[in-house]
Each structure stands twice: as C-alpha cells, then as structure tokens.
Amino acid sequence: MQRLANKRILLGITGGIAAYKSAELTRLFKTAGAEVRVVLTPAGAEFITPLTLQALSGNPVHQHILDPEAEAGMGHIELAKWADLILIAPASADFIARMAAGMGNDLLTTLCLASDAPLLIAPAMNQAMWRDQRTQDNIGALKDLGMAILGPGIGDQACGDTGPGRMLEPQELAEFCAEQFANESLTGRHLVITAGPTREAIDPVRYISNHSSGKMGYALAEAAVESGARVTLISGPVNIDSPARVTLHSVNSAEEMLNASLNQLESCDIFIAAAAVADYRPIEVADQKIKKKTDQMQITLVKNPDIVTTVANSNNRPFTVGFAAETEHVIEHARDKMNRKGLDLIIANDVSQPGIGFNSDDNAVTVIQKDSEQRIPQTSKSQLARQLISLVAKAYETKN
C-alpha cells in the first residue's frame, strides 16, 4: 500500500456496529504513511469513541458542522479542500439515502458535497435493509454520480441474520483506497533535501552567510511530495513557508545541518544537497558583541565539514545529488566536483548570469551524470524542480 504514503485520507464513520472496524482501518492508513482525519456522526459516536480515533489518527476527531475552533468557523470547507480521498466506512442506509438526495444536514454529508476528492462508500447494514429496493435505488444514484461502492460482503451479521450487508474488512478497504492513486515515480521513497544558506556566528549579533534564498530547495521538496515521496527538508534560515506534507528541520550552522542530515540517513533513499553551505566558519565565537574599537579586525576561519561528501561516503549511503553554483567553466568545475565528492548526479548552474540563481524566481541548469549532460533552459524554479525530480527519480531507478 505504498501509494497511500503522504496522502490525505478523510474517513467518515456513521452509525453501525461495523464502526469498531474503523479503528483498525485508521491504523492501517497511518502505517501506510497516510495522514488521516476522522469525521464521526452522532450515531457513529454511539459505537466508537472520538478519543479512540484521535489516539489512532493523531488528529482531533471532527463532529460538528460549525466548529468554533476551525478557521472562520467553516470546518467543512477546510476539510473538503484538505482531503485527497474520502472513505465512508461504515456507510449506513440512512447516510446513503441522504447522500443520494443531495442533503447536507450534518458535517459529513456537507463536506462530501463540498469536496472534489474521490468518494468511496463502504455500506454496512442489515441484509434486509441492503436488499430493500429504496436502498438499491440510492446505491444506483451514487454510482451514477461517480462514487465507488465497496462491498458489502456476505456473512453472519450482528443481529443474527446471514446475507449481504457486512462491511468489507479493513485490509481490503485500505487496498481499494491505495488503488485510487497512481503509482508515482517516487512513491514510498524517502527524500532528504537541504535548502537555504547557513549562518556561521561571529558573535551573538553577527554572522557569515550568503545570498541563498532557499527557493530552489523548497521547490524541490514540493515537487518530490507531488511525486509521492516522503520528504524531510533540512533548511537554513529562510523567509519561506514550509511546503505541505514536508517534515521540516530548521538549522543555522553547517555543523547543525550536517548532524541533521546524518540523523536521516538510516531511512533515506535519495539525498539532495541544495543548500548553500558556508565553506568556512570563525574558529572562535565571541560570547559578547564585539565592540568597534579599531579600524581593522581579523577573524580566523576554519573549514566547515563538507555535508554532501560526508553523506556520499557514509556507510548508509543514499543516492546522492549535489549542486554546483559556478561563475566560470561551469560544466568542467561541476563534473570535477561530482567525481571528487563521489556523487551520483550533480546539478550545475551559472550564478554569474543575471536573472537566475540566488534570490531569483528563475533558474537554468545542466544535469550532469557520469555519461550524460542535459541542459534545462531558464524557467521558474517550481517548473524546474518538477523536471529535476523526474530526472533524479529515473536516475535512481536505473541505478537500483
């Protein structure tokens, strides 16, 4: 069920004894790497507690259509926009009837009406209720609207009857949900991306840094999420909001970035070093602000650890991608850097060109591998990031 990784699943639970299975379903989604939010109807809350579902999902359980804690009190709209997929399990005959009639008289029906996400229905009811012509007409209406009906299964029921009406088992439902998503190029992979500058302290108020904005690294993180990856973003100080569905680790210095990177290597499949790491740091950092007493001041610098080289030569070595920001002989210098550092792939750009590179919204690069070079002309960093992630994914699969 790797396709569920990083997906947003909205699980609706209506009234019925099968609601106890929804706890296991929630656990399966979480284990597969999905983010789960649960919407519980009043009848559903009679069969399973919100506390149980909150503990399993890791998120508050939603029950009320007008939530005073939600942004602008419009919780149903927020949830409707949030979801990648909506699953109603169990779906009672009452809920199915209200959905077929287009009613929005509680939180669950309202957000179903307001969402563009795929909607899957897992019926659960007494066998006579399932066979009733009105229920079948309602099921037909939902199918005509493009909703997927999962089940029901046939077997013994809590009321003592035997026949159709059992909710499908959680594993089966989770697999149906996974099939709704394309097997994207990086599904199930863990990408670690460094971004932004580092700051090397001189004293409590001064530091050495560079002009990196972090835009390229953040765009790569967003593109990797779109490709199905689990993404950890290790970022120096920037003025950019973290992309959705990305685990962000904020750091300042090169040493902090190195330690954060090494901590991720055990589970890392692909490491992309997009950060502009300071080459040197002051050998001593003053405890107090240095006063301006003389016309000259000397600062002794020491070389910083080389993060991408350390990663590329580690025992738990991931597929390692570097960047080369050059001002002359761009391809030659980048290829030399790739070979010296033991990288699988390097992305070279000419930062001397106006309108691209540091602090710009655009960039133009050359992707260099052992036996190939591919030029990508100037485009927005967001568009470039998608092309780069696609190339990295292909190179990774070729090697593995």
Domain ranges of the chain: 2-178, 190-399
Q: Does position 325 have pLDDT exceeding 60, yes or no?
A: yes
Q: Where are the beta strands (DSSP E) in 100-197?
A: 119-123, 148-149, 153-156, 162-166, 190-195
Q: What is the average pLDDT across 383-392?
A: 93
- Tell me, what's the pLDDT at 311? 97
- Between 130-144, 196-210, 340-354, the lowest mean confidence (pLDDT) is in 340-354
- Tell me, what's the pLDDT at 38? 96
User: Are 51 and 63 a contacting pair, CB within 8 Å?
Assistant: no
Q: Which residues pair with 9 in a beta bridge?
A: 36, 85
Report the alpha-carbon distance of residue 8 to residue 32 in Å, rounded: 11
pLDDT in tens, 16-29: 999 999 999 999 99
More confident residue, 349 or 26: 26
Confidence of residue 161 (pLDDT cuts 50, 70, 90): confident
- Matching CATH topology for 2-178 and 190-399? yes
- State what percent of residues in the chain have pLDDT above 90: 73
- Tell me, what's the pLDDT at 336? 95
Q: Does position 73 have pLDDT exceeding 50, yes or no?
A: no
End-to-end Cα, the chain, rounded Å: 20
Q: What is the average pLDDT across 111-126?
A: 94
* Backbone region of residue 342 per phi and psi (left: phi > 0; alpha: psi in -120 to 50; beta: other values): left
Q: What is the average pLDDT across 181-194?
A: 88
User: Are 217 and 261 a contacting pair, CB within 8 Å?
Assistant: no
**Burial of 153 per CB tally in 10 Å (0-12, 13-18, 19+):** middle
Q: Does position 150 have pLDDT exceeding 50, yes or no?
A: yes
* Backbone region of residue 325 per phi and psi (left: phi > 0; alpha: psi in -120 to 50; beta: other values): beta
The total of other beta-carbon atoms located within 10 Å of residue 60's CB is: 13
**Domain topology for 2-178:** Rossmann fold (3.40.50)
Report the alpha-carbon distance of residue 283 to residue 82 in Å, rounded: 48
Q: Which CATH architecture has domain 190-399?
A: 3-Layer(aba) Sandwich (3.40)
**Cα 319 → chain centroid:** 20
**Cα 45 → chain centroid:** 30
Q: Does position 221 have pLDDT exceeding 60, yes or no?
A: yes
**Burial of 272 per CB tally in 10 Å (0-12, 13-18, 19+):** buried
More confident residue, 32 or 159: 32
User: Are 334 and 189 a contacting pair, CB within 8 Å?
Assistant: no
pLDDT in tens, 350-360: 877 776 666 67
Predicted TM-score of the model (pTM) = 0.74
Highest mean pLDDT (candidates 63-67, 256-260, 368-372, 379-383) = 256-260
Q: Nearest 5 degrees, angle CA 343-CA 345-CA 346? A: 95
Q: Nearest 5 degrees, angle CA 343-CA 327-CA 394? A: 30
Highest mean pLDDT (candidates 88-97, 172-181, 327-336) = 88-97
Residues annotated as part of the active site: 159
Q: Does position 188 have pLDDT exceeding 90, yes or no?
A: no
**Alpha carbon separation from 222 to 6, 185, 217, 382 (Å, rounded):** 12, 14, 9, 8
